[in-house]
């Protein structure tokens, strides 16, 4: 069941148009590319670029796919920060190494997202789908992953106990 906000007029034209218009306008205002205090010219250029953008199907499809990827990513990050905040009593601090690692991870994920959204390398995505189906939807995979998770949790618990024991002894 769909609603009015899922109508083709909105999803294929209005949402991509507004998104592109506001992004181009904000970039022109921030960069002052067309001159300082040129709001009307920036708005007109943004309007033209946005109309050209929505007149071609492929860029709209790519942006729609990237927006889906971004929204899922934002929710995952939000949930991660919520859990991390509960564990650390609301004090979330990241070391410089972790920030660099997250930067590299973000760059890699962005490249993968663009390749997926543009439909590049369809054989690769098909192979990934077959591997996923084999790993998680084949006979016996449920019991394998359940046992694997239990073993990982037991090993992690033993490692945590051993590390805590060394810390108490002063090693």
Distance CA 125, CA 137 (A): 17
Domain boundaries, the chain: 8-55, 57-120, 122-171
16 with 64: CB under 8 angstroms?
yes
Residue stretches of the chain with pLDDT short of 50: none
pLDDT, tens digit, for every residue of 55-78?
988 888 888 888 888 888 899 889
pLDDT of residue 155: 92
- What average pLDDT does the structure give for the chain? 86
pLDDT of residue 48: 95
């Amino acid at each position: 069941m769909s609603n009015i906000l899922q109508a083709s007029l909105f999803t294929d034209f209005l949402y991509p148009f507004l998104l592109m218009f506001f992004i181009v306008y904000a970039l022109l205002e921030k960069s002052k590319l067309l001159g300082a205090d040129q709001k009307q010219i920036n708005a007109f250029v943004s309007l033209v670029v946005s109309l050209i953008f929505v007149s071609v199907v492929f860029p709209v499809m790519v942006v729609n796919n990237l927006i889906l990827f971004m929204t899922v990513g934002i929710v995952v990050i939000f949930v991660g920060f919520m859990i991390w905040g509960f564990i650390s009593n609301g004090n979330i601090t990241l070391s410089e190494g972790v920030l660099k690692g997250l930067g590299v991870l973000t760059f890699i994920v962005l490249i993968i997202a663009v390749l997926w959204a543009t439909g590049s390398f369809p054989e690769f995505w098909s192979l990934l789908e077959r591997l996923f189906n084999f790993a998680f939807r084949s006979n016996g995979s449920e019991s394998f992953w359940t046992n694997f998770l239990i073993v990982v949790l037991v090993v992690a618990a033993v490692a945590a106990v051993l590390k805590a024991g060394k810390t108490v002894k002063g090693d």
